[in-house]
Amino acid sequence: MKIKLQVFSSKRKEVTVAFLVSLLLVAFTLTPLAFADPETPQNITVDTAYDMIRRNRSFPDLAILDVRNQSEYNINHLYDAILIPLHELETRIDELEEYMNNEIIVYCGLGGRSEIASGILADNGFTKVYNMLGGITAWIEAEYPVYTTFHHVTVNTTGNRGVHVEIEPLLLQMGCTSCNENQECSGESEISNIQITMLEEEEDYTLTLVTYEVNGTAFEVTIARSLLWSYSEHTYSAIKTANFTLIEITTEDTSIQFYSLNYLVQHMEYNLTISTTLTPLNSETYNSSFTVVSYAPAGQSEILSLELVEFNSSVTLSQLYTSLDKVAKKIGQVYMRGGLKNNDATLVQLAQNYYKMAKETKNFSRLVKRQLQEYDLEILENSAILTDPWWTCIPCMAACLVGAVAACYVCCATTYVCCICIAWLGMYPIDMVCTLICETGGACP
């Protein structure tokens, strides 16, 4: 089941009001447009495309063709757009036969693929082909609506713990799309002969040795985990656990350190995971944080949502989770409006999932403030991902990977081992190391 949600990429506070006002303005200020039957594809701006789409009576049989890849379409697309990736267009062109003499607006990410696709349509006898210049990137920049469950969220904190949230559709160009076209992606390494040895194991400390080979070359990595705090709560409906750990990854040449804070709620109706990686600047301040909040309802979900969150100001660790509580509530309101407007029960359920995510995140903020005062320090740079649903180990994995990279770049800014550190990230399979950290830390039950 394909879920579509209309959201404006606007900086205005009242998205719904802005949308209604824009419709009224379009209704009363449209300049008459003359569209002759072109013999060759015509280039049009996103403004012209928007006017054509809104003028249903003038173009009752208008078709919208998206020639990007499936992964890009899933992130955002124009309403009622037909998806046929460019590399499949010539073999699937018969699917568009009913639009042979109707207007077809063709778009992609930036305009390059749609120009090629428009030429293919014209060569096959389509008479009214319009290539949308700038693609969906220009469309979103013009603040026209897209249908998406993927958003970019900006958080601005103000005095007295005030939080202002701005929500826009996520504008993301997918990398390595050639892989979807049966072309090889370079840079892959073969990892073999992996061996994991526990060197030390105490109640609050473990030291693990990982040996492996990359393309025939042997490497060693040691992972030291020091448990600094843990929490456990059992009720009739849920089991809640949390831990705060210092992790040090060491090779023969260098080492990096970062903190890992994990919170897991195993509820009868859902599982929720919060994983945060913190890179220290000094004893009183964290340099950066990366958090993944993942909510997985019981049973199978038919929709995936993803919210990328950026903070424009520093916050303390507990304030980070308070802010994410407000973000989750705001996102829930967006989905609830979309669900009620379109009579869509799935979107309504998605909204309720985000409300539960907000509640648990707020509870965790209180727990951190109450029991982790020593580590409830200011964080200079913060980012996060909210997702529903996701795979169990992904939150911890993502936080670990970002933490390792961030720790490396802090090292670059302060010591002479920068080049060694960057080379280490490129040489060692940090994803494998992070998998081990997450599994042994209980983030992957």
**DSSP string over 152-203:** EEEEEE-GGG-EEEEEEE---PPS-GGGGGT-PPS----EEEEEEEEEEE-S
What is the mean pLDDT of the segment spanning 340-351? 83
Domain 6-147 part of CATH 3.40.250.10: yes
Do 143 and 135 contact (CB within 8 A), yes or no? Answer: no
Neighbours of 214 (CB within 10 A): 15
More confident residue, 24 or 292: 292
Residue 338 banded pLDDT, cuts 50, 70, 90: confident
Q: Which two tokens stand for residue 187?
A: 């840079």
Count the alpha carbons within 13 Å of 44 in the hemisphere toward its beta carbon: 28
Query: Would the pLDDT of 16 be above 80?
Result: no
Phi, psi (rounded to 5 degrees) for 384 = -155, 165
- pLDDT band at 434; cut points 50, 70, 90: low
Distance between CA atoms of 358 and 168, rounded to whole angstroms?
A: 19
71 Cβ contact list (under 8 Å, min separation 6)? 174, 177, 180
Specify whether the CB–CB gap between 1 and 302 falls below 8 A.
yes
List, in sequence order, the alpha helices (H) in 316-393: 317-341, 345-371
CA distance linking residue 413 with residue 280, whole number of Å? 13
Q: Assign residue 134 a region: left if phi > 0, alpha if psi is -120 to 50, beta otherwise?
A: left
Mean pLDDT over residues 87-101, rounded? 93
Amino acid identity of residue 231, one-letter, is Y
Neighbours of 141 (CB within 10 A): 12
Which of 185, 189, 187, 186 has its CA nearest to residue 429? 189
Which H helix or E strand runs over 118?
helix 112-123
Pairing between β-strand 255-267 and β-strand 238-250 as defined by DSSP bridges: antiparallel
- Confidence check: pLDDT of 22 > 80: no
- At residue 345's C-alpha, the angle toward residues 341 and 349, to 5°, is 110
Provide φ and ψ at 303, rounded to 5°: -140, 145
pLDDT of residue 395: 52
Omega of the bond leading into 389 within 30 degrees of 0 (cis): yes
Q: What is the rounded CA–CA span in Å between residue 148 and residue 32?
A: 31
State the pLDDT confidence band at 438, using cuts at 50, 70 and 90: low
Distance CA 285, CA 256 (A): 17
User: Among the listed ranges 67-76, 112-121, 179-188, 359-368, which one has the minimum average pLDDT value?
Assistant: 179-188
Write the DSSP symbol of residue 283.
T
For residue 143, what pLDDT is reported? Answer: 85
Give span(s): CATH 3.40.250.10, the chain.
Answer: 6-147
Contacts of residue 100, defined as CB under 8 A and 6 or more positions apart, other chains included, come to 125, 126, 127
Q: Mean pLDDT, the chain, as a whole number?
A: 77
